[in-house]
Amino acid sequence: MEKNLLNYKFSLLHADYVKLNKKWNYTNVISPYYRIYYIDEGEGFIVSKQDKVKLEPGYFYLLPSFTLCNLFCKVYLSQYFLHFFEESVEGLSLFENNRRVIKVSASDTDIANFKRLLEINPGRGINRSDNPKEYEKYTYYKSYQQLNKTTSDSTFFETQGIILQFISRFLNEREFKSSAPDPIASKILEAMRYIQMTRENLTVSYLAERANLHQDYFSRLFLRYAGQRPLSYIHEKRIERAQYLIATTDLSYAAIAEETGFETLSHFSKVFKKVTNLTPGEYKKQNRV
């Protein structure tokens, strides 16, 4: 495994069992946390830009953070669900190269773990609305994070252990697996990791130089393997981090701009608007009560 899981910390947000109907129909959902579903009855769908995934009984689903998607149910759906934040020492997500829905068959252990998670973490449902625009607010994040600080040590470690077991079920499904690694793809993957690790101002020419490739060739390869231009990827990853910080902290916009590698607040605001179609202020208002 390329990464040490001990470098990752997972913070429980919501966990519950719910029964949904056709009112569960939300578009352009993009959350700063992970979602895991286990479906026991009914049918639903998660539609992302890559594919349309059917939610069906007997399966386990992972939706990584910052994965833009639509969620809907045509008639009836009952599910166990888990929402959690991810933090890592290196600032890299375990699924940074696979922002898409991952589906695996649920085992008896998975189901037992989900039930145990709810048993030791009562009252962690959403309880207000199943609309992400209603419950994805700073006040709610803060209140649930406060619960994590007051939980017992035994519950904290057991919860972490269950989340780790859940994540392990999806690790073999990540992209960029190959029995004969492509050295060019490896260079692009390294560039992607570097973009997420550094908070310094980056240029495409600098990244190409690090990869020992001509800038134009590097850009074409990056587009081929990453699906977007290097500068767009830089902006996207930094704005993802900015969205997380706006949603979960009281940092000023200037501090967030600095933390995410922007030299000026004006540049940060311009890029934020370009990526999200919202100003930082509009995003903050939308995600706080």
Query: What average pLDDT score do residues 259-285 get?
Result: 92
The CATH number of the domain covering residues in 5-173: 2.60.120.10
What does the mean pLDDT of the chain come to? 84
Residue 1 has pLDDT above 50, yes or no: no
Residue 89 has pLDDT above 90, yes or no: no
**Domain spans of the chain?**
5-173, 183-286
Q: What is the pLDDT of residues 175-231, one digit of tens each?
A: 434 344 455 567 887 788 788 777 788 899 999 999 999 999 999 988 887 778 999
pLDDT number for residue 140: 62
Q: Quick one: which H or E segment has residue 120?
A: helix 108-120
Contact 24, 152 (CB under 8 A): no
Q: What percent of the chain has pLDDT over 70?
A: 84
pLDDT number for residue 266: 95
> Which residues are paired to 15 by β-bridges?
82
Query: What single DSSP character describes residue 171?
Result: G
pLDDT number for residue 133: 63
* Whole-number Cα distances in Å, 287 to 83, 146, 183: 16, 18, 41
* Whole-number Cα distances in Å, 131 to 29, 58, 147, 196: 9, 25, 22, 30
pLDDT number for residue 3: 47
Residue 7 has pLDDT above 50, yes or no: yes
Query: What average pLDDT score do residues 147-159 get?
Result: 91
> Nearest Cα to 129, choosing from 247, 13, 244, 18?
18
Q: What is the pLDDT of residues 94-149, one digit of tens each?
A: 787 677 899 999 999 999 999 999 999 998 988 767 777 666 665 566 677 778 88
What pTM value is reported for the model? 0.65
- Alpha-carbon gap, residue 241 to 237, rounded angstroms: 6
Sheet holding 52-55, edge to edge: 25-29, 69-72, 44-48, 52-55
Give the 3-state secondary structure of 24-61.
Answer: CEEEEECCCCEEEEEEEEECEEEEECCCEEEECCCEEE
> Nearest Cα to 42, choosing from 74, 81, 83, 82?
74
**CATH fold of the domain at 183-286:** Arc Repressor Mutant, subunit A (1.10.10)
Q: What is the pLDDT of residues 51-78, one digit of tens each?
A: 899 999 999 999 988 777 889 999 999 9
